[in-house]
């Protein structure tokens, strides 16, 4: 996907003025409330009319003020998922799903509904009344309805914000599956750094109607260093677990981790606080930590009395957070070999 955008839009007390080019199929728009995220989405999808500029999606001009081109929302073939799923309350899930599908032009009906329902785990919900669904289920239905229209691009405006923490993380694997499976590019809007890291590769940071930064999602976390975020959280993707004594072993890159927590599926996400990684100069003889990894220091940066140490451990990466005194005592610099020690109980399951 290639999206080239230059847009201006003024409201009474607010002006949006942005220009960006996106080629990543998993892009985030990140910014505080009122910064203009939803306005961008409304302009892209055709729900609002820009004052000036253009929107080009691959070889299609969706909008161009100078050339007086302005495709209607249904001609743009851009799908939208809102924070609150707009479902018809008195219809079954199935009727909600097919309501739009039947009105979709036949040439756009290229997604096999049953396959999609499986990917989203909603097959068993089809006959239910929408009023009986949980927030996370409603969002999966809303996404299914959007995907059924076979869009070229899906815009998701804070789709997880209305869900509580537990449900939010349950729905993320389904969202990821859909985008992987159908290869639909998406723009994911959120004000949560964690959601950005889980759902996107690249992020546009917007403040007061202007783009402030366009970077990798992980850069976002590093840049917020020193401005509130207490410690870096490593997100660790692990495969299936196998029993190991009374603990569980998970493959991680070309090595493995021992955890106290079991997990059922093939795809599991754990968080590991950077402060829970201890660094040693040499292999400690005996330790209560079940995980000892040989790693190379690839970067070091500090803020106040905390230092972050980026580590390459085999073909994977970790960030540890230590105090400046430890850096001196361990003689850590770029290229130094260290042993990272992590307790089996330090990993917390996200999903
Ligand atoms: P975000 O989604 O980042 O929270 P929005 O794009 O919804 O921000 O809003 C950005 C600013 O534009 C806000 O100050 C909001 O009040 C204003 N705004 C958005 N839409 C309209 C509108 N239709 N009329 C007037 N002001 C609007
Ligand atoms: Mg918004």
Residues 190, 71: one domain?
yes
Is the same domain home to 289 and 331? yes
Number of separate domains in the chain: 2
**Residue-number span of the structural domain to which 291 is assigned:** 233-349
Q: Are both 163 and 248 inside the same structural domain?
A: no
- Are 243 and 336 found together in one domain? yes
| Cβ atoms < 10 Å from Cβ of 328 | 9
Residue 39 CA, closest ligand 1 atom number: 6
CA of 82 to the centre of ligand 2 (A): 9
Q: Is the CB of 209 under 6 A from ligand 1?
A: no
The verdict on the CB of residue 301 being under 6 Å from ligand 1 is: no
- Reported as type and span, the H/E element at residue 243 is strand 241-244
What integer pLDDT is reported at residue 9 of this predicted model? 98
Predicted pLDDT of residue 66 = 98
Residue 306, CB-side half-sphere exposure with 13 Å CA sphere:
15
With a 6 Å cutoff on the Cβ, whether 35 touches ligand 1 is yes
Between the CA of 113 and the centroid of ligand 2 the distance, in Å, is 30
Q: Of the residues 179, 204, 227, which one is the last residue of a structural domain?
A: 227
Report pLDDT digits (tens) over 137-163.
999 999 999 999 889 999 999 999 888
pLDDT in tens, 248-276: 999 998 899 999 999 988 889 999 999 99
Task: Verify that 325 and 283 share a domain, yes or no.
Answer: yes
Task: Indicate whether this model's pTM tops 0.85.
Answer: no
190 lines ligand 1 (CB under 6 A): no
Q: Which helix (H) or strand (E) holds 237?
A: strand 233-238
End position of a domain, from candidates 227, 246, 274: 227
What CATH number is attached to the domain comprising 117?
Answer: 3.40.50.300
Question: What is the CA(11)–ligand 1 centre distance, in A?
Answer: 8
Burial of 200 (0-12, 13-18, 19+ CB in 10 A): buried
Same domain assignment for residues 176 and 321: no
Same domain for 246 and 147? no
pLDDT, averaged in runs of 10, over the chain (351 residues): 97 98 96 95 97 97 98 94 88 89 76 90 93 91 91 95 80 87 94 89 96 91 61 89 95 93 90 95 88 94 85 93 92 95 94 83
188 and 308 inside one domain: no
Q: Output the pLDDT for position 265.
A: 85
Mean pLDDT, all residues of the chain: 91
Residues 245 and 222 reside in one and the same domain: no
């Amino acid at each position: 996907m290639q999206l080239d955008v230059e847009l201006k839009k003024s409201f009474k007390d607010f002006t949006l003025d942005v220009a960006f080019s996106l080629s990543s199929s998993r892009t985030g728009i990140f910014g505080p409330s009122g910064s203009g995220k939803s306005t961008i989405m409304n302009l892209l999808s055709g729900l609002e009319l820009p004052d000036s500029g253009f929107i080009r999606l691959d070889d299609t001009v969706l909008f161009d003020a100078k050339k007086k081109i302005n495709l209607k929302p249904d001609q743009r073939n851009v799908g939208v998922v809102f924070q609150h799923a707009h479902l018809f309350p008195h219809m079954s899930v199935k009727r909600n799903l097919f309501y739009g599908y039947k009105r979709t032009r036949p040439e756009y009906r290229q997604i096999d509904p049953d396959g999609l329902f499986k990917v989203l785990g909603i097959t068993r919900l089809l006959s239910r009344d929408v009023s009986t669904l949980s927030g996370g289920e409603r969002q999966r239905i809303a996404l299914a309805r959007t995907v059924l229209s076979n869009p070229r691009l899906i815009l998701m405006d804070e789709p997880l914000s209305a869900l509580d923490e537990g449900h939010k993380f349950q729905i993320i694997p389904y969202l990821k599956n859909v985008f992987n499976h159908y290869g639909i590019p998406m723009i994911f809007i959120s004000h949560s750094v964690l959601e950005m890291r889980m759902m996107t590769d690249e992020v546009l940071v917007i403040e007061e109607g202007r783009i402030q930064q366009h970077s990798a999602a992980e850069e976002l976390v590093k840049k917020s260093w020193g401005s509130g975020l207490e410690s870096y959280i490593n997100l660790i993707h692990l495969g299936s677990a196998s029993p190991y004594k009374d603990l569980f072993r998970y493959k991680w890159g070309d090595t493995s981790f021992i955890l106290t927590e079991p997990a059922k599926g093939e795809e599991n996400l754990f968080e590991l606080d950077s402060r829970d990684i201890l660094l040693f100069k040499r292999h400690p003889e005996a330790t209560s930590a079940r995980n000892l990894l040989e790693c190379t220091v690839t970067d070091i940066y500090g803020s106040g009395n905390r230092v972050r140490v980026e580590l390459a451990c085999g073909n994977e990466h970790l960030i540890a957070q230590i105090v400046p005194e430890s850096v001196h005592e361990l003689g850590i610099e770029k290229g130094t070999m260290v042993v990272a020690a992590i307790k089996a109980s330090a990993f917390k399951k996200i999903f």
